[in-house]
Amino acid sequence: MRYALRYKLRRDGILKTAERVVLVEGSLIGALKVGARIDNLLGKKKANGFAENKAGYEDISVKYNKQVTADDFVVLHVENSPLFDVSYLEAKIKKCLDEDISVGLVLDTKAKSLDQIYHDFDFIEAIMTKYKIDFPIYLNIEGIVNNKKLNQPMKEAIIDSFLNKAEESQMYVGIYGSDTTLTLCNEYVYNLNDYDCFLVQDKEDIEYPGTYHVVKDSDGDITSSTNLAEIIEDNNLNKANNFVLSSPVLINDKDEVLTYAIKSGLSVDELKKYNKGLTDSKDILFIPNIFNRELKNSYSNSRENNTDEIARGIDISNFQSTIDWREVSENMDFVIVEVARGSGYLSSAKTQIKETLNHSLSLGIYFLIDKEMDAKTYETRINTYLDKLDGELSDEIKNHTYNAQDIPVFLDFEAYTEANDYYALMDVFRKSCISHGYKKVGIYGNKSTLSGVVKQVNKYLQENTSYEDIEDWGFYVWEAGGKFYSAREKTHQDDITLDKLKPEENNSRYSDRTYLYTPDILQATNVCTDTGAYNSLNHCDVSFLYDLDLFGENNKQDEDNILRDIDLGTERIINLDKYPNLPTYQILCNLDYLLTGVYTGFMIKVVGRLLIIKLKDEVLKLKR
């Protein structure tokens, strides 16, 4: 679902700002109660009754900061411009963090187009990724609303684009502007009623009818009626791990630019400007994710029924005698291919791996083990399988990136039996996989099988090693037996289609620490009929992925991981360390040191002269 992070606050009759009632509508992370009075929810007060974060400042001195305390808040103005000194901004943020002062940001945008406001938002995200910003992010609309060269739809689109992306990234976002501008915008440009505002008073009486927690009065004093930092903290907002970054895609044809421009709500020219030009037919094109959530998830396709945005995939073997790979790629995000069953290596594995990569699907592989197997025998067997797989794939997938370290590998336990030493089997499997370059190793089974395996292995780990459980040992868990899983897969009685499948809540399955594990993949059903892969009854297993780091670099994931590489060599990613700026901070510091030195020298000279005069007076007294 799409979290509505708009904080709707309404007047109760004619109330003063400090007496406002907060109504939180929609579904919030942290779930504040609808209609709850904000004073009752927060309750952080100083001993003298003065609410924390009530007094605010629009700037802060890096060196002299006597008036601002930990009970106050600071809002810093930022601008995505080469003339803006990022080093000075960072020094101010660090000062606030060191002194436990809540800090927020106001974006003073000069955007006249969508590609420019998208770049502005990237700049905000770059700051928030590097530093903790625990007060709201405000969009200054003065330059947008009062720009005579922008028509009303363009003004609306610029404002809406910024606010939408901020909400998708789960930021507490608000609007900054004068009373006059806010009123004008709300009436003619953009409905601001859903947003909290930072209102700059330019009239004796405030006319803006909407919500404003923070007010700057005509004397320049800034106050907040609510501890917004606490709301942000309680609802887990402004967290970098929630940010929706721009999605990189590899384009092989310039005609593809039009498709991505339409999806992102930009013209082709705007998309090119956003990417600072396209110079090669195989360029990495960055898509500014604003309206289309599917563009933000490297696992998502354009299907309408994947509203929960959890990656969906299938596992296939020789039983899938018929596979329509085009249909699979439209329906699925990942494919896990069976390589071996018992003592038999599957010749179909290399073809299925190749087709998975051909259709830009994330890839995993798995090996089914015999029900009763000793570790020594299996060690020989798994190494043989892996050697054979390496040899066959070298020619089959030479045109694809195949990074073994990013491909999850699972050991499939068909059923639990006390005859097996599961620790020894898993240890052999893990070491063999790692020796062949596979670093992401896991186990597969149904709930009862995994229960027995995990119980046995965790007991061994706790008694003989420093590991506490399977997860600490480094194993992923793929669990079968979801809500639509059927014991009658050899009939048509429990057939199900994709539109009926929904991801289940992924909680730890056992309360006792000895049995604890959290599935990384849950197999929702084994009797789905419209995946694109079919056995004799048209059935296929469908699973949902809950650990987005499980699948690594392979086509889709390559593009997603590009975002995390700060030294990408493209100007599209904003790196604050390389951001061009004027050395204002250094100049002011040097000037400050110079003035301090001059002042100190002057004072030494004055004090010295006074001492000399005093000594002369004492000498004269003695002579008398």
Residues 431 and 310 in one domain: yes
Residues 542 and 415 in one domain: yes
Residue 283 within any structural domain of the chain: no
| Residue 437: closest CA among 473, 389, 470, 395 | 389
Domain holding 319: CATH number?
3.20.20.80
Q: What share of the chain is helix, strand, coil (3-state, %, to 5)?
A: 35, 20, 45
Report the C-alpha gap between 416 and 451 in whole angstroms: 9
Residue 622 within any structural domain of the chain: no
Specify the pairing of strand 173-178 against strand 137-140: parallel
- Count how many domains the chain has: 2
Residues 232 and 321 in one domain: no
Among 550, 567, 598, the domain boundary falls at 550
Residue 352 CA to its chain's centroid (Å): 32
Residues 475 and 356 in one domain: yes
Report the C-alpha gap between 443 and 366 in whole angstroms: 9
Low-confidence ranges of the chain (pLDDT < 50): 1-50, 291-308, 508, 510-514, 553-572
Range of the domain at 398: 305-550
What pLDDT was estimated at residue 301? 36
Residues 346 and 434 in one domain: yes
Residues 218 and 355 in one domain: no
Residues 209 and 349 in one domain: no
What pLDDT was estimated at residue 309? 58
What pLDDT was estimated at residue 215? 96
For residue 579, the tally of other CB atoms under 10 A from its CB is 18
Residue 416 within any structural domain of the chain: yes
CA atoms within 13 A on the CB side of 417: 12
Residues 224 and 317 in one domain: no
Among 211, 237, 263, the domain boundary falls at 237
0.85 surpassed by pTM: no
Residue 408 within any structural domain of the chain: yes
Residue 286 within any structural domain of the chain: no
What pLDDT was estimated at residue 297? 40
* pLDDT, tens digit (0-9, with 9 covering 90-100), for 145-181: 999 999 999 999 999 999 988 988 899 999 999 999 9
Residues 512 and 373 in one domain: yes
Residues 510 and 410 in one domain: yes
What pLDDT was estimated at residue 548? 72
Residue length of the chain: 624
CA atoms within 13 A on the CB side of 48: 4
Residues 213 and 329 in one domain: no
CA distances to 55, 58, 69, 129 from 99, in Å: 15, 16, 7, 20
Beta bridge partners of 223: 55, 215
What pLDDT was estimated at residue 290? 54
Helices (H), 265-335: 268-274, 325-331
Percentage of residues in the chain having pLDDT higher than 70:
72
CA distances to 44, 205, 214 from 20, in Å: 17, 17, 12
Residues 440 and 522 in one domain: yes
Specify the pairing of strand 9-10 against strand 102-107: unpaired
* pLDDT, tens digit (0-9, with 9 covering 90-100), for 252-310: 666 778 888 887 778 888 888 888 766 655 567 788 865 444 443 433 333 333 334 58
Report the C-alpha gap between 243 and 162 in whole angstroms: 13
What is the four-CA torsion angle of 214, 218, 221, 224, rounded to 10 degrees?
A: -20
Residue 406 within any structural domain of the chain: yes
Average pLDDT, the chain: 77
Residue 247 within any structural domain of the chain: no
Containing H/E element for 520?
none
Residue 460 within any structural domain of the chain: yes
Q: For residue 596, give every residue at least 6 positions away whose Cβ sits within 8 Å of its Cβ, in sequence order, or none.
A: none
Contact 488, 452 (CB under 8 A): no
* pLDDT, tens digit (0-9, with 9 covering 90-100), for 175-226: 999 999 999 999 999 999 989 999 999 999 999 999 999 999 999 999 999 9
* pLDDT, tens digit (0-9, with 9 covering 90-100), for 79-124: 988 778 888 899 999 999 999 999 999 999 999 999 899 999 999 9
Among 515, 550, 585, the domain boundary falls at 550
Report the C-alpha gap between 624 and 600 in whole angstroms: 36
